[in-house]
A and B are shown apart, each in its own frame.
Chain A
Amino acid sequence: MSDTTIEMPQDEKVWGGGSRPLGSPYGKLMMWFFLISDALTFSGFLAAYGMIRFKESLTWPVAEDVFTHFPFLDGNHPLLYVALMTFILIMSSVTMVLAVHAGEHMNKKSVTLWMLLTIVGGLIFVGSQAWEWYHFIIGDKGAIELHDRTIVHVVNADGEAISFSQLVHGMEHGHASNHSDVFSKEEVFNAFKADNTLALQVPGKAGETLSRSEAISELATADVVQGANMQRNEYGHQQFANFFFFITGFHGFHVFSGVVFNFIVFYNIMLGTYERRGHYKMVEKVGLYWHFVDLVWVFVFTFFYLV
C-alpha cells in the first residue's frame, strides 16, 4: 500500500476503501495482533504461577535462597546474575531501536552493525539462561524429602542451611555447594544423626523446624534430593521447579526464535534486499517482536526473582 493516502472527508466515502483508520501497514498490524495474543498467553502462565504460589505461600521457596550463583565467584550472590541477564536484554533492545532508527534513514551500514549487536546480545542471553538452568538442575545444597513429599533442608545451630558436602565432609573440608558430587542416603542420614546440633527446616517464609526426635524418626522413610527435575526438586514444592522450567523455558524459546528471525533479517540486510525494496520496514517488525521478548522478561524477572 502506498504511503500517500488520499485524505478522505470525514463524512463521505468512509466505506469506499482507501482510508486507513489505524495508519499502519498490514505486516505491522498483524505483528501487533500476534503480540497481544502472546501477551495474554504469558499472562495466563504467570497468573497460574501466582495462583499456585498463593496456595502454597507458607512453604514456597524464597528466590534469594535458590538463585545465588555468579560465574567465577564463590559464595552467596542473590539477584546479581539475573540482573546482569536483564541488563543484557535491555541493551540488545536498545541496539534494536538503533537499528530501526538507522533503517528509517536508509543507512545500510549502520543497520547492519546494530542488527549484528542485537543478535549477539540475544545469543548471550540464551547462553546465560542455559547456565542458570544448568545450576538449577544440578542443585546447590541438597535436601531431604519426607514420606509426604515435603522438602526439608539441613540447618546448623544458627539456623543456616548447610550443604550435603559440608554435612558429610565437615564444615572445614566441604563446599558450600555440592556442585556435581552425589551423596547417598546413608552418608547423609548417618552424618545428620551423628551431630546433635543439626536440625531439619521446611523452606519458605515460615521456616518451620522439626524437633530432633521427630527428624530422626522421619528419616526412616525419607529420601535425599539433589538438584531439580520435573518430578521433584531440592528447593521446595514440586510446582516451583515446574513453573520455573515452563515459564523461563517458554520465554527462552521466544528469545531463541527472535534470534533466528533477527538473523534472517540481518542476512537480508547484507544481501541488500531492503535497500532494493526501498524501505527497512521488516527491521521494524522483527524489532516489535524483540522488544516484546524484553517486555516479558521484565515481568518474569519481577515475579520469579524479586517478589
Chain B
Amino acid sequence: MSDNNQGTGWIWKVFWILLIITTVEVVLGIIQPEALEVQVLGTRLLNSIFIILTLVKAFYIVSAFMHLGHERKNLKWMVYLPPLILIPYLVFILLTEGVALAG
C-alpha cells in the first residue's frame, strides 16, 4: 500500500487470514454441506466448525491487532484469564438451563 514503512507486512497477513476465514464461513453457510450435518457433541458438526473458526478469528484480532501478543506476560494473563474462565462457565450454565426449559 501507499504506506511503505517497513513492518506493515504482518498487518496485511492478519487481514488475509481474517478475510479467508470469513469467506470460508460464508461459503459453508450458503452451501450448508450435507456431510457436515452429522450430530457431534450435541450439535451439528457445521456449528462446531463455525465456532472454532470464530475463536481463531478472535485470537488473531486480540493477539495481533490489539497487540496483546507483544505485551508483557503479566498483562497478557490479566486480560486473557477472566474472560476465559467466566465466559465458558456462564455459557455452560445458561445453555444447560435452556435445554432443561425446552424439555
* Contact residues of A between 289 and 307, Cβ < 8 Å to B: 291-292, 294-295, 298-299, 301-302, 305-307
- Closest residue to B1 on the A side, CB-wise? A98
**When the two chains form the complex, which single residue of A80, A90, A295 contacts B62, counting CB atoms closer than 8 Å?**
A295
Query: Do B11 and A94 have beta carbons less than 8 Å apart?
Result: yes
- On chain A, the number of residues with a Cβ less than 8 Å from chain B's Cβ atoms is 59
Looking at the complex, which one of A36, A93, A113, A302 makes contact with B83 (CB distance below 8 Å)?
A: A36
Q: How many positions in chain B have a CB within 8 Å of any CB in the partner chain?
A: 49
Q: Are A52 and B98 in touch, CB under 8 angstroms?
A: yes
Q: Which residues of B contact A301 (CB under 8 A)?
A: 54
Contact of A101 among B11, B54, B71, B79 (CB under 8 A): B11
CB distance from B33 to the nearest CB of A (A): 13
Q: Are B22's CB and A294's CB within 8 A?
A: no
Q: Is A159 an interface residue (CB 8 A)?
A: no
Residue contact A50 to B98, C-beta cutoff 8 Å:
yes
Interface residues of A in 137-160 (CB under 8 A from B): none
Determine if B99 is an interface residue (Cβ-Cβ < 8 Å): yes
Query: Is B98 a contact of A55 with CB atoms below 8 Å?
Result: yes
A residues near B75, Cβ cutoff 8 Å: 22-24, 29, 32
A: residues with CB less than 8 A from B are 21-24, 29, 32, 35-36, 39-40, 43-44, 47-48, 50-58, 64, 78-80, 83, 86-87, 90-91, 93-94, 96-98, 100-102, 105, 107, 110, 113-114, 284, 287-288, 291-292, 294-295, 298-299, 301-302, 305-307
8 residue pairs, one from A and one from B, having the closest CB atoms:
A54-B98, A51-B98, A51-B94, A23-B72, A55-B101, A302-B54, A83-B26, A47-B94
